[in-house]
Amino acid sequence: MRHATHSPRRVGRREFGARTAASLAAVAAAARQVRGAGDRIGVGIIGCGGRGTAHMHVLRALKSRGEEVEIVALCDTYRPRLARAAQLTGAAFATMKHEELVAREDVDIVLVATPDHWHGIHTIDAMRAGKDVYCEKPLAHWRQLGLPERMVRVAEETKRLVQVGCQRMSSTAYAQARALIREGAIGTLLMASTGYYRIGDWGERGMPIDDPNAAPGADLDWERFQGDAPKHDFDASRYFRWRMYWDYSGGPGTDNYVHFYTPLAYMMDLGYPDRVVATGGKFRYEEREVPDTFNMIADYPDRITVLCHGTQGNDFQTLGSGEQPLIRGWDGTLSIEGAQVVVRPTSGSAKPALALPIAAGTDEQRFWRDFLVCCRARTQPESGIALNAAVATTLQMATLAMRESRCVRFDQAGKKVV
């Protein structure tokens, strides 16, 4: 450790556990008071591809552990995937039109696991139909400026809950770090850095073309897939490997950076940045449209700078895909290192060094279970809509900044990108 004069104070698992238990008890008590608290929660899934299927397995595992949850309806614009999902889940209702799914009485929560340019629209339509929503990240496509803020307004108007699929937020590490920061453990916040690396599995290798002869018609709704995106003739690569194309994806910025930027924004209470710059491009992979290398810097009103960087080169298996955030304050530095939240005071600071064991790591089942608890108790999830709207807008700004080689600003009073 750099500052040998400070001996680390270990805040025990028991101390954190007691606090967590108290808040969980409060939530559980609230849950018992709401109508239908013990009733089965019906989930409708829009998007039955890779991620949608992963959610099906998580929900089935929760159900087998006694959770009152059931997948009751499915939607996908490609019928073979719909049929496969129906077989896997046993859901009785399947449709290619999401309006029919969100209108169903037996659906309480809608899971949105479609390509990025549909997330905001599916989420709003579900909320307007009275459903809570688990929306996969990112909240909106990079060109859909203002949509994240519209989603926040609709959530407020309809009093619906939205959890955004940054499952890393299920780790207690970030709540523990946030509490330390709020207690002043590193003093006034100055800057933070994080990053994301993933070797070229963007679409070229990572997204299979189910059927190279697939064509629009009764089994594939190309018009609906395109939605509000610029129109093209059908192309199986665009349909199945949409992550490679600007029309449906934003590349690392809006896709991968969410995983670390969301916990960072949560720990530091970042809100919206004043301005963002970014660099990058296709430095390694030619087939895709979106960048493989992406670096951004955002300045926030409280004079905090955040740096996020990434390329596709990494050993995903052993090194992991990303860099845990490092947060620098005037009096110290906070980092997440293995199973600990670590605080190292600045030289000469009177603050103590800390090494806090992380009470619980990332757990997709717990992330879902916590959302079910929130839906019964009508409490906001940690990875909620307001936090994620600010993150989504920041990453939209970064994508615009890179594409247009300019500094993109946010009008804080008008709450819009300028």
State how far the Cα of 236 lies from the Cα of 216, in Å rounded to an integer: 10
Nearer to ligand NAD, 8 or 227 (CB): 227
Q: For residue 356, which of 9, 18, 17, 14 has the smallest C-alpha distance?
A: 9
Residue from 3, 79, 224, 369 binding ligand NAD (CB under 6 A)? 224
Q: How far is the CB of 342 from ligand NAD (least distance, A)?
A: 26
State how far the Cα of 82 lies from the Cα of 88, in Å rounded to an integer: 10
Q: How far is the CB of 147 from ligand NAD (least distance, A)?
A: 14
Binding string, 332-361, against ligand NAD, x = CB under 6 A? ------------------------------
What are the beta bridge partners of residue 304? 300
At position 91, the amino acid (one-letter code) is A
Q: For residue 354, which of 6, 72, 90, 55 has the smallest C-alpha distance?
A: 6
Q: What sign results for the dihedral spanned by CA atoms 310, 316, 319, 325?
A: positive
Closest residue to bound ligand NAD by CB: 49
Nearer to ligand NAD, 165 or 329 (CB): 165
126 contacts 360 by C-beta, under 8 angstroms:
no
Segment contacting ligand NAD (CB under 6 A): 34-42, 115-123, 147-155, 402-410?
115-123
* Phi-psi region at 340: left, alpha or beta (left = phi > 0; alpha = psi -120 to 50): beta
Radius of gyration of the chain (CA): 22
Residue from 74, 75, 161, 377 binding ligand NAD (CB under 6 A)? 75
Q: How many residues does the chain have?
A: 418
State how far the Cα of 188 lies from the Cα of 184, in Å rounded to an integer: 7
What are the beta bridge partners of residue 43? 71, 109
Query: Would you list the DSSP string of 295-332?
Result: EEEEEETTTEEEEEEE-S-S-HHHH-SEEEEEEEESSE
Residue from 142, 197, 225, 367 binding ligand NAD (CB under 6 A)? 225
Segment contacting ligand NAD (CB under 6 A): 24-32, 42-50, 86-94, 102-110?
42-50
Q: How far is the CB of 258 from ligand NAD (least distance, A)?
A: 8
Binding string, 274-303, against ligand NAD, x = CB under 6 A? ------------------------------
Residues 167-196 that bind ligand NAD (CB under 6 A): 167
Nearer to ligand NAD, 52 or 345 (CB): 52
Strand pairing category for 408-411 and 109-112 = unpaired
Residues 44-63 that bind ligand NAD (CB under 6 A): 46-52
Residue from 108, 116, 292, 382 binding ligand NAD (CB under 6 A)? 116
Q: For residue 28, which of 362, 370, 366 has the smallest C-alpha distance?
A: 370
Nearer to ligand NAD, 124 or 377 (CB): 124
Segment contacting ligand NAD (CB under 6 A): 13-21, 223-231, 272-280, 368-376?
223-231
Reading across the β-sheet that carries 132-136, which strands appear in turn?
93-95, 69-75, 41-46, 109-112, 132-136, 162-165
State how far the Cα of 267 lies from the Cα of 258, in Å rounded to an integer: 14
- Is 238 one of the binding residues for ligand NAD (CB under 6 A)? no
Q: How far is the CB of 69 from ligand NAD (least distance, A)?
A: 19
- Is 367 one of the binding residues for ligand NAD (CB under 6 A)? no
Segment contacting ligand NAD (CB under 6 A): 103-111, 219-227, 275-283, 323-331?
219-227
- Is 134 one of the binding residues for ligand NAD (CB under 6 A)? no
Count of residues binding ligand NAD (CB under 6 A)? 26
Binding positions for ligand NAD, rule: CB under 6 A: 46-52, 75-78, 81, 98, 113-116, 118, 136-137, 165, 167, 224-225, 227, 255
